[in-house]
Structure formats: structure tokens, C-alpha cells
């Protein structure tokens, strides 16, 4: 039996393949979310958001899947859930480790989260090219060693410091927008 190409299924909207993907992967995502304090509804939301993240990433011309799809998808779900948990526990804004979300026909999409992500990416595009590139590499889950190499930095430590500075600057820029104030009160 040939393995289904879930990335192609997501890009094309192949409902049959997406249904099979859900049946194959959702039990693992539900277990992940429940083990980390979430509910079945949380798991469904995380799963759906991860599909959107894969869609956004796969549309990029430089997208290349370098691991099993299930491993890649699980990692995205893990990052989405941990990011949500971090947001709940912190009073400050946190930066999501996933791509911009886009609305679809489903009623499960969190419109407020979409607006927050749009604001985040809009603000990211206002930053200098080096910070943009560094943070995009970070969001693509490259290791600090890979980021240092890609950016031409002398060490992993320097890459980590630069990432922290760029991330802090981005947070400050987002907090200073009128849209952020509106979204906080929503």
C-alpha cells in the first residue's frame, strides 16, 4: 500500500486523503494535548491549526519535507500547543513558532488568533532584513548551529543572542501597535 502524500492532500484540499490523515494522526495529537493538560476540543483546534501551518509552509517555493510527515506534523502540533500554554501562563505577549494562519470554511478557526498572527507577521516584515531572516529560520525549526551557519555568524551562542535581541525587538514593536491594544481588549 502506497503512503498518501499528506502535503499534496493539504495543498489540493483532497477531502478523502485529509480524512485518512485525520484518522491516522489525530489520536497521537489528542494524546499529546491531553497529556499536556488540554481537552479533546483543544486537540481538534491544534490539529486544524497545524494543517493550516503546513499549508502555508508548503506553498513556499523553498519548502522541502526532510522527515516523515507524521514527525513533522507532530512537531508543529507540539509547538502550537506549547505556545498556547505559554500564552496562558504569561501576561506578556509571546511569539508563535508557526506560520501565519488563514481562515477556511470551518467554524473551528479562531478568528482572534488569526488576527493576532496577521499582526505578528505584518510587524515582522517591518523589521530589518537580518532580523527577519534570522527569525524566519528560527520559526522553521532550524537549530542554532544551522542558523549561525546560514546567517554567517561565528558561533551558536552569537546566533542565540541575536535571535533573542530580534525577538525582544519584535515583541516591543507588536506591543506598540494600535492593533495589539485592540486585540488585547477583544
Mean pLDDT calculated for residue range 106-122: 64
Note whether 97 and 141 are within 8 A (CB): yes
Helix (H, G, I), strand (E, B), or coil: what is residue 27? helix
The closest alpha carbon to 112, from 50, 166, 49, 57, belongs to: 49
pLDDT at 118: 78
Res. 2 pLDDT band, cuts 50 70 90: very low
Residue 170 has pLDDT above 70, yes or no: yes
Residue 62 has pLDDT above 70, yes or no: yes
Residue 100 has pLDDT above 50, yes or no: no
Q: Where do we find the cell 486523503?
A: 17
Q: Which of 41-55, 72-86, 114-128 has the highest mean pLDDT?
A: 41-55
Longest pairwise C-alpha distance within the chain: 54
pLDDT at 186: 55
Res. 89 pLDDT band, cuts 50 70 90: low
Q: Where are the domains of the chain?
A: 1-91, 108-186
| CB neighbour list of residue 86: distance below 8 Å, 6 or more residues apart | 94
Pick the residue with more confidence: 99 or 71? Answer: 71
Give the span between the Cα atoms of 28 and 31, in whole angstroms.
5
Helix (H, G, I), strand (E, B), or coil: what is residue 166? helix
Mean pLDDT calculated for residue range 160-181: 86
Residue 38 has pLDDT above 60, yes or no: yes
Residue 115 has pLDDT above 80, yes or no: no
Question: How much is the mean pLDDT over the chain?
Answer: 81
Q: Which three cell numbers stand for residue 120?
A: 505578528
Running DSSP on this structure, what letter comes out for residue 177? S
Running DSSP on this structure, what letter comes out for residue 13? T
Res. 107 pLDDT band, cuts 50 70 90: very low
pLDDT at 184: 67
Pick the residue with more confidence: 103 or 139? Answer: 139
Q: What is the CATH number of domain 1-91?
A: 1.10.1740
The closest alpha carbon to 115, from 44, 45, 180, 42, belongs to: 180
H helices present in the chain, as ranges: 6-12, 15-35, 40-58, 69-89, 111-124, 129-139, 144-151, 156-175, 178-185
The predicted model scores a pTM of 0.48
- The two counts, helices (H) then strands (E), for the chain are 9, 0
Amino acid at each position: 500500500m502506497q503512503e498518501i502524500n499528506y502535503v499534496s492532500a493539504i495543498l489540493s484540499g483532497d477531502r478523502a486523503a485529509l480524512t485518512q490523515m485525520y484518522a491516522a494522526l489525530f489520536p497521537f495529537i489528542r494524546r499529546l494535548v491531553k497529556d499536556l493538560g488540554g481537552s479533546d476540543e483543544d486537540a481538534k483546534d491544534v490539529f486544524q491549526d497545524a494543517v493550516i501551518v503546513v499549508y502555508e509552509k508548503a506553498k513556499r517555493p523553498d519548502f522541502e519535507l526532510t522527515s516523515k510527515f507524521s514527525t513533522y506534523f507532530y512537531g508543529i502540533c507540539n509547538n502550537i500547543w506549547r505556545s498556547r500554554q505559554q500564552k496562558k501562563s504569561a501576561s506578556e505577549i509571546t511569539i508563535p513558532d508557526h506560520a501565519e494562519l488563514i481562515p477556511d470554511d470551518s467554524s473551528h478557526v479562531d478568528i482572534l488568533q488569526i488576527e493576532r498572527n496577521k499582526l505578528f507577521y505584518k510587524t515582522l516584515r517591518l523589521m530589518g532584513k537580518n532580523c527577519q531572516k534570522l527569525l524566519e529560520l528560527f520559526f522553521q525549526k532550524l537549530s542554532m548551529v544551522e542558523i549561525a551557519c546560514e546567517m554567517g555568524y561565528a558561533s551558536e551562542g552569537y546566533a542565540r543572542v541575536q535571535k533573542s535581541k530580534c525577538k525582544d525587538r519584535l515583541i516591543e514593536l507588536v506591543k506598540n501597535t494600535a492593533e495589539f491594544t485592540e486585540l488585547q481588549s477583544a
